[in-house]
Amino acid sequence: MTSRLARGVLALLCTGVAAGCGSQAAPVAAPAPRVQTAPLSTSLVTPQGTWAVTVMGGSAADENNFWQLFVRPAGATRWSLVTPQGVADNGGLVAAAGDGQGASLVVGFRPSQGLAFSPLATSSDTGKTWTPGLLDAGLADVPDAMAVAPSGQTLALLHDGGIEAAASAAAATAGQWSRLTTLSALAASAPGRGCGLVAVNAVSFGPNNVPMAAGSCVRRGVAGVFADRGGAWQAAGPVLPGGFGGDQVQVLGLARTAGGNAALLAAGTSLLAAWSDGGRWTVSAPVTAAGDEQGVSASGFGPAGSVWVLFGGGRAEAIGGPGGSWRALPAPPAGTATLAPGSGSSAYDALAVAGSRLTVWRLAAGAWAQAQVINVPITYGSSG
């Protein structure tokens, strides 16, 4: 399939733009945890509207899994399919507010179908049109693999744990990336050694456009969140409440907020939300993940630092922000692949998938009500 996006990617490849080579994971002396990451299915809210990423179609083994992007424009109640066309999306999609102010959205395609790089696409009109871009490396398989600062500086987390940086959104679109760090270098830094870093799971920005990274640590009770201040990485994570000193901590998500960052942490069989105001962290009480044998199946962040989690066992929990408490949402409808925040603090949409059919359920008065059905045109066997 040929399109403006595909032609743009090919044109950028022809310019010869290249990123630095990756490095292998740094060895650790203590037994490493089984690295836990959040699935790519997620949602995010920008001034343009609410966006949702999910996979549809059929078996991934048969390459009939097609990742889709949907948007519900600000002030609207209905969702639209806006997946950028012309590039194979079997590897998954990663989305981030595209200019730091949310006036655009940037989408990265994880490598698939023989690609060794990640095409990008940016839209400033709720997905009606897309401008192609390029990251000449493969994005990591995590939802927070891209981040954009208010300055426009852009970060990309690669599949090998390295982090690429572009000086502006325009530079990112043009494929002008440079290596910020590697996993081995970050693990060898003082804060990396202090936590026993074994994986990087998310990138973000703190106040004053400070690059941030977060991941999984061997040292028990330590949350691996790091800030790059003047070229030197510093520990920037929360101190967990008592009772978690014996647990290895993994950061499943990290998102920029108006005053700092919000994070989703896994510690043992518990999940915790945490919020930074740029200096001090506030950590929620835990919510247990025990009993959900399939673990976290989707998660995301919403307005005012809200966090939601969808468990594979058919349970959903949400917390409104600093000082809030986890609350169980009504059991999501069958097939729910991701949740998306609604217009109120307790409002959510559930996006349920059955093959090429997406059903939107809306939470109202404590119950889910069907709000919309979208039939997605999927050509099985096309792998594109």
When pLDDT is cut at 50, 70 and 90, the band that residue 343 belongs to is confident
pLDDT, tens digit, 9 for 90 and up, residues 198-214: 999 999 999 999 999 99
192: pLDDT strictly greater than 90: yes
Instruction: Report how far residue 342's alpha carbon sits from residue 347's, in angstroms, rounded to the nearest whole number.
Output: 5
CATH class of the region 4-16+33-375:
mainly beta
In the predicted model, what is the mean pLDDT of residues 299-308?
95
Residue 217 CA from chain centroid, whole number: 19
In the predicted model, what is the mean pLDDT of residues 278-286?
93
Instruction: Report how far residue 332's alpha carbon sits from residue 244's, in angstroms, rounded to the nearest whole number.
Output: 30
In the predicted model, what is the mean pLDDT of residues 7-26?
40
Instruction: Report how far residue 298's alpha carbon sits from residue 116's, in angstroms, rounded to the nearest whole number.
Output: 26
Pair of tokens at residue 104: 């655009």
When pLDDT is cut at 50, 70 and 90, the band that residue 28 belongs to is very low
3-state secondary structure of 171: helix
pTM for this entry: 0.90
When pLDDT is cut at 50, 70 and 90, the band that residue 364 belongs to is confident
Instruction: Report how far residue 177's alpha carbon sits from residue 171's, in angstroms, rounded to the nearest whole number.
Output: 7
382 or 163: which leads in pLDDT: 163
pLDDT, tens digit, 9 for 90 and up, residues 93-134: 999 998 766 689 999 999 988 888 999 999 999 999 999 999
Percent of the chain with pLDDT over 90: 74
When pLDDT is cut at 50, 70 and 90, the band that residue 1 belongs to is very low
pLDDT, tens digit, 9 for 90 and up, residues 166-186: 999 899 999 999 999 999 999
Lookup result for tokens 């990591």: 140
Which pLDDT score, from 0 to 100, does residue 362 have? Answer: 97
Which pLDDT score, from 0 to 100, does residue 96 have? Answer: 96
Q: Where are the domains of the chain?
A: 4-16+33-375
356: pLDDT strictly greater than 50: yes
Please, what is the average pLDDT of the chain?
A: 89
